[in-house]
Structure 1
Amino acid sequence: MILPIIAYGDPVLRKAGEDIGPDYPGLQELIANMWETLYASHGVGLAAPQIGRSIRLFVVDSRQVLDNLEPDEREEYAGDDGVKQVFINPRIVDREGEEWAYEEGCLSIPKIREDIYRPETLHIRYMDEHFQQQEATFNGLSARIIFHEYDHVEGKLFIDYLKPLKKKLIRKKLDDITRGKVQVDYKMRFPR
């Protein structure tokens, strides 16, 4: 089932998620719904807070982006094979490498894209959808997407990395999103 994406301004996006166990009610159905919602909204990552759940769960599919890059663009991300993965109760263990800029966007903050600086590599510990402990290192675009989704389960948004002047310049657009004055081609739930 395709779920509505929670829009900027809803307090759930600012709340750190709680760890969950394998007995979390309807977990496998929730994960399936998150994948369906991700693809229906043309996203590359989706965190549980974005669908109204304050839990430490997100899904990422960077392969769809990397597989569709032109050969010269693909060279920029050599060593990043992409990832399609469920992350439950994730914890970043380490961040490495030089920070690099990339224009990020967010399904919860439509129509706004800004250059955000993040490290090249991250090392993360998490449970997969079968509650098997995993530990992995990701780099490039995959690392960036995981960093972005990880921020969601910490109650952070990509716009939090912007300088005060830049935030001031996008304030009206953010207010419009909060008021539901934005058109998207996916289901959204706006703050009441």
Structure 2
Amino acid sequence: MAIREILEVPDPVLKQVSAPVETFDDALKTLVDDMFETMYDANGIGLAAIQIGVPQRVLVIDLQPEDPDAEPEPCNHDGHHHHHQPTKKEPRVFINPEILDPAEEQTTYQEGCLSVPDIYADVDRPKTCRVRWHDLDGNVHEEPMDGLMAICIQHEMDHLNGVLFIDHLSRLKRNMALKKLEKARKAA
């Protein structure tokens, strides 16, 4: 497994349309392992293969819900305190996903993206949708999605078509976001 570099705007690769996966093999499993490792390393909840430069229709998502039953981690005796609430890992893989029946009703959510670091903006999307996808073994699944999962999968699916969440904003807001990003980069 390996942590891969996450491409950031304005990398032209992010505008590519990803190709369907045709071979469900070990290379695909390795790609997915790397995607999870990269996503967790960057504290993300979703990642598309194109974000690490692989133009294939592969998404990984883990909303990592807070685990209400988990105990906060005790202090280590070497003086390191762990303040973070433990989260449950619920990794999900979507290969060649398709969105069916997006709801007419929209919902607004403040989105961010590992390829557009530290920029957050409100995006309107269908509130619910059905998703059909293949798993790592090539089996087909179909499931209705709602809440954050519906938003996240629509956001990640956009990547497969070369679309970033800032592309949903007005040109003015998008330019403001990109200027802010450029300024932050210069400061770094």
Normalized against structure 2, the TM-score is what? 0.81
AA of the residue aligned to 2:5: P
| Partner SS for 1:5 | coil
CA contact (8 A) 1:8 1:174 kept: no
Supply the distance in 1 between the matched residues of 2:55 and 2:158 (Cα, whole angstroms).
13
CA contact (8 A) 2:24 2:138 kept: no
AA of the residue aligned to 2:4: L
Structure 2: gaps spanning 5 or more residues: 69-88
Alpha-carbon offset, residue 25 of structure 1 = 6.7
- The number of aligned residues is 167
Supply the distance in 1 between the matched residues of 2:132 and 2:18 (Cα, whole angstroms).
16
CA displacement, residues 66-120 of structure 1 (integer Å, 9 cap, x when unaligned) = 3368xxxxxxxxxxxx963111111111201521111100000001100111111
Q: Does 1:91 align with 2:81?
A: no
Match of 2:127 among 120, 144, 147: 120
Q: Does 1:67 align with 2:66?
A: yes
Q: Does 1:152 align with 2:159?
A: yes
Note the aligned Cα RMSD (angstroms). 2.1
CA displacement, residues 131-186 of structure 1 (integer Å, 9 cap, x when unaligned) = 11111110010100000100001110000111122123223134457xx5475xxx
> Relative to 1, partners in 2 of residues 1:32 and 1:182: Cα closer, same or farther, differing over 3 Å?
farther
AA of the residue aligned to 2:43: H
Structure 1: gaps spanning 5 or more residues: 70-81, 184-192
Matches within 5 A, 1:1-192: 1-23=2-24, 26-62=27-63, 64=64, 66-67=65-66, 84-175=91-182, 181=186
Normalized against structure 1, the TM-score is what? 0.79
CA contact (8 A) 1:85 1:128 kept: no
> Relative to 1, partners in 2 of residues 1:136 and 1:100: Cα closer, same or farther, differing over 3 Å?
same
CA displacement, residues 25-70 of structure 1 (integer Å, 9 cap, x when unaligned) = 71111111111111111000000010001111110112x1x3368x
Supply the distance in 2 between the matched residues of 1:114 and 1:173 (Cα, whole angstroms).
12
Alpha-carbon offset, residue 124 of structure 1 = 1.3
